[in-house]
Each structure stands twice: as structure tokens, then as C-alpha cells.
């Protein structure tokens, strides 16, 4: 039985972590064709309930075992979001590499194009680069000149086996139209745009609920201080608990390599209004399975210490070129929210189409099948 050694950061509970935990729980229960080991750096500060022991490489014995796994010709090592890591580059500089996969899920947006040496060196050492979207593949190629032949796209997948428990939304019996955002409260998510749009909706029966925490939380609460139609809900460890409560999910991101939250909304039959940027259109087909809004404005945001900087480039989903980032116009977003709040039939159709797309394609079975084919071929 082949061994797969995963090296993944498990501090926090973002999309990378949720997708990895869902995959590992799924394969350990349903697809026990490989032996899995997990290496991480730092404390595991979330209740992941993983079926495999997590080995912290700050302990020298675990670090040495990881090095031996990288060297071994009988083991596959799978790194997650380490393509821009200087520490990983230094490690790989001094050891031979046998079967190494580097899985890029978004860190390429944070790295300056001038810092091309580290990602190019790691990509050269790696056997294969996996990307979670076509947009990520474009970013790696256009920004860092990593050859497209070295990159394979495997879209994320979520566990859809609970799909029948979601009944869809009932709009006509509600006096309040509930829109929501869920995610990390940080610069790339564009939450400040959504809060600003609510200033144009104070006379409407529309309420915004924000779920999440992060370095922009205090700034965003200050921005929303005088708005009675905005509520902060804190963090939800299970996103479905929140998404089921709202009538429309809004994803106003400045950059979004793929957008797992759009899949999670689809599973819940919650319609989505999102920015037309990066990998989001790979999930949402405009006016078929949701609506997309083009970012047209210069970005207006104060970035506090500890927050993620604005990306240097994003991917234009129409031209497939990288371009400086923009943000959605808040008034235009408000008009779109108001328009959709009055269109029950359209929203129901979007939700049904997105649900079908997620169940048919963005599922953990398809993701596992594609990934395991790669493992088997190495």
C-alpha cells in the first residue's frame, strides 16, 4: 500500500483546511487504498477530529521523518499552499526529491511577481503542481512563468452526501430578505464593499448578516456602526449552519482563487451573487446558476497591521490575463441585491442549477478519483 505524506497548515479553519479534512475523513472511511500521514507546522487549534495522527515538524523526529519521506522513492509527499515558502525552498535545496506534489490553492496571489525565484525553484523541484482552478493555473503561468505542462487543475470537491436534507428557500412568507457573507474578515474578501452597499438599502426590508472573524473585524464594525441593517454573527465552525439561514449569499471578493463558499451555498440551495473575478465563474455561470458582478472601481480600503495586503494582480475570467485588482461598485451592488430580493422565481432557479452543478461535479467523489489517479500514476 502506497504511503501519502500530506504537509498542510492546520491552524485556522479556512477553505484549504475544510477541504483537506473532508477529503481525509472521506478516504479513510470509503477509499482505504493508501496509507496517509499528516505533517504540519504549529499547533492544531481547531476540533478537526482527524482519523490520522498529526505530526508537528517542530519536533526534530517528525521533521527528519518528513525529510526521509521526501527522499524516498516509495512514498508520495503532497504539500498544500507551499509554493511561495522560502523555508520549503531552502529545505528542497539540500535534499533530493523523489515524488513531490505541490498543491497551490491561492498563495500565488499574495506573492509579488518580483519574488519569482522561490516559486519557480519549488516548481522545478516538484514532480507536479496541482492547482485548484483554471484561474490559479493562469496566475502561476502568467505571474511566475511556471510552464503550463507542469500544472494540472483539480477543482475542489465537497461532501455532497447530505444533499437531500436541504429543501431550498421560501421567500414569499418572509417580511425580511436576509443576505449574508461568511468567511475570513480580511482584505481580499471585500466585506467593506458589501457593508457600504447597505447604506443604499436602509429603507428596504433587507438585512445583512456577517459570519466570520479576522484582522478587519474592528474596522468593519466601525464602518457599520450606524447601520441598523447589518449584524455581525461571529465565526461558524460549520458554514452550513449559517448558509441555511440566509436567502442570498453575497461574495464581493477582490480576489478569489476558486470560492469554496459558493459550492457550500449550492449544496444548501442558497442562491449566490458574487464578484466576476478569478475562479468564481468556474463555479457560477452568470444568470444560469447565480449572478456575477464586474468589479469596476478603484479599491478603497484602509488595511490595518496584520491584514493581508491587496493582491498585485487578479485573473480576468474573460481575457484569461492577469490585471490589477478592482472592486465592485457599492451602489451597483446594492441595486443588484434589491433587484434580486424581488425575484423569487429567478433566485429559486439559480439555486437549483447551482445545487445540480455542485452535486454533479464539485463533489468529494470526483475530487478523490482525480487525485488518486495521480497518486497511482506516480
For the segment 44-94, what is each residue's pLDDT rounded down to a tens digit?
Answer: 766 677 888 899 999 999 999 999 999 999 999 999 998 888 999 999 999
* Phi, then psi, of 213 in degrees rounded to 5: -145, 175
Co-location of 186 and 214 in the same domain: yes
Please tell me the predicted confidence (pLDDT) of residue 46: 66
What is the spatial distance between Cα 162 and Cα 151, in angstroms, rounded to a whole number? Answer: 32
Task: Measure the CA–CA gap between 67 and 351, rounded to whole angstroms.
Answer: 46
Same domain, 117 and 177: no
- 251 and 197 belong to one structural domain: yes
Strand 3-7 relative to strand 75-80, pairing? parallel
Distances (CA, A) of 227 to 119, 231, 261, 344: 44, 9, 25, 26
CB neighbours (10 Å) of residue 25? Answer: 17
Q: Are 135 and 317 in contact (CB under 8 A)?
A: yes
- What is the average pLDDT score of the chain? 93
Q: How confident is the model over 167-175, as a mean pLDDT?
A: 64
> Same domain for 227 and 249?
yes
pLDDT of residue 109: 94
In which band, very low, low, confident or very high, does the pLDDT at 168 lie, cut at 50, 70 and 90? low
The arithmetic mean of pLDDT across residues 216-232, rounded, is: 96
Low-confidence winner among 82-86, 229-233, 340-344, 355-359 (lowest mean pLDDT): 82-86
317-338 tens-digit pLDDT: 999 999 999 999 999 999 999 9
pLDDT band at 37 (very low <50, low <70, confident <90, very high): very high
* Cα dihedral value 363, 364, 366, 370, nearest 10: 140
With beta carbons less than 8 A apart as the criterion, state whether 282 and 315 touch.
no
How many structural domains comprise the chain? 2
Across the range 363-374, mean pLDDT stands at 96
Mean pLDDT of 178-189: 96
Nearest Cα neighbor of 304 from 228, 157, 192 is 192
Mean local confidence (pLDDT), 119-141: 97
Q: Which has more pLDDT, 249 or 163?
A: 249
206 with 331, same domain: the answer is yes
Residues 63 and 171 in one domain: no
Same-domain pairing of 98 and 192: no
Same domain, yes or no, for 308 and 369?
A: no
Contact 308, 187 (CB under 8 A): yes
User: Does residue 350 sit in the same domain as residue 367?
Assistant: no
Contact (Cβ atoms closer than 8 angstroms) between residue 252 and residue 190: yes
d(CA 71, CA 321): 37
Mark whether 202 and 295 lie in a shared domain: yes
With a cut of 80, say whether residue 303 has pLDDT above it: yes
Domain harbouring 86, CATH code: 3.40.50.2000
Q: Is the same domain home to 233 and 349?
A: yes
Give CA 17 to chain center in angstroms.
10
Q: Is 7 in the same domain as 94?
A: yes
Report the alpha-carbon distance of residue 67 to residue 43 in Å, rounded. 20
Say whether pTM exceeds 0.85. Answer: yes
Buried/exposed code over 78-116 (b: 16+ C-beta within 10 A; e: otherwise): bbbbbbbbeebbebbeeeeebbbbbbbbbbbbebeeeee
* pLDDT for residue 166 is more than 70: no
What pLDDT score was predicted for residue 122? 95
Which grid cell is 345?
422565481
Domain range for 201: 163-360
Amino acid at each position: 500500500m502506497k504511503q501519502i505524506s500530506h504537509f498542510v497548515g492546520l491552524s485556522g479553519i479556512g477553505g484549504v483546511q475544510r477541504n483537506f479534512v473532508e477529503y481525509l475523513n472521506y478516504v479513510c472511511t470509503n477509499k482505504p487504498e493508501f496509507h496517509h500521514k499528516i505533517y504540519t507546522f504549529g499547533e492544531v487549534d481547531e476540533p478537526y477530529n482527524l482519523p490520522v495522527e498529526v505530526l508537528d515538524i517542530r519536533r526534530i523526529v517528525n521533521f527528519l521523518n518528513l525529510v526521509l519521506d521526501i527522499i524516498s522513492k516509495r512514498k508520495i509527499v503532497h504539500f498544500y499552499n507551499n509554493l511561495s515558502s522560502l523555508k520549503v525552498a531552502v529545505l528542497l535545496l539540500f535534499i533530493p526529491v523523489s515524488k513531490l506534489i505541490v498543491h497551490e490553492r491561492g498563495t500565488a496571489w499574495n506573492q509579488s511577481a518580483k519574488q519569482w525565484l522561490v516559486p519557480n525553484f519549488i516548481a522545478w523541484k516538484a514532480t507536479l503542481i496541482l492547482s485548484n482552478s483554471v484561474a490559479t493555473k493562469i496566475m502561476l503561468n502568467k505571474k511566475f512563468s511556471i510552464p503550463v505542462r507542469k500544472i494540472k487543475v483539480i477543482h475542489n470537491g465537497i461532501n455532497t452526501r447530505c444533499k437531500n436534507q436541504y429543501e431550498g428557500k421560501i421567500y414569499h412568507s418572509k417580511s425580511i430578505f436576509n443576505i449574508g457573507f461568511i468567511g475570513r474578515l480580511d482584505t481580499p474578501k471585500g466585506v467593506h464593499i458589501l457593508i457600504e452597499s447597505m447604506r443604499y438599502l436602509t429603507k428596504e426590508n433587507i438585512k445583512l448578516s456577517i459570519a466570520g472573524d479576522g484582522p478587519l473585524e474592528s474596522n468593519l464594525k466601525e464602518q457599520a456602526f450606524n447601520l441598523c441593517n447589518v449584524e455581525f454573527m461571529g465565526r461558524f465552525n460549520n458554514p452550513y449552519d449559517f448558509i441555511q439561514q440566509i436567502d442570498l449569499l453575497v461574495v464581493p471578493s477582490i480576489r478569489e482563487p476558486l470560492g469554496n463558499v459558493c459550492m457550500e451555498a449550492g449544496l444548501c440551495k442558497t442562491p449566490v451573487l458574487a464578484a466576476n473575478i478569478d475562479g468564481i465563474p468556474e463555479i457560477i455561470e452568470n444568470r444560469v446558476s447565480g449572478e456575477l458582478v464586474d468589479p469596476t472601481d478603484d479599491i478603497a480600503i484602509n488595511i490595518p497591521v496584520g491584514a493581508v495586503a491587496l493582491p498585485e494582480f487578479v485573473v480576468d475570467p474573460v481575457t484569461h490575463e492577469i490585471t490589477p485588482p478592482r472592486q465592485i461598485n457599492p451602489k451597483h451592488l446594492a441595486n443588484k441585491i434589491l433587484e434580486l430580493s424581488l425575484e423569487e422565481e429567478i433566485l429559486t432557479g439559480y439555486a437549483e442549477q447551482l445545487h445540480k452543478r455542485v452535486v454533479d461535479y464539485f463533489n468529494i467523489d470526483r475530487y478523490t478519483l482525480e487525485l488518486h489517479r495521480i497518486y497511482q500514476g506516480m
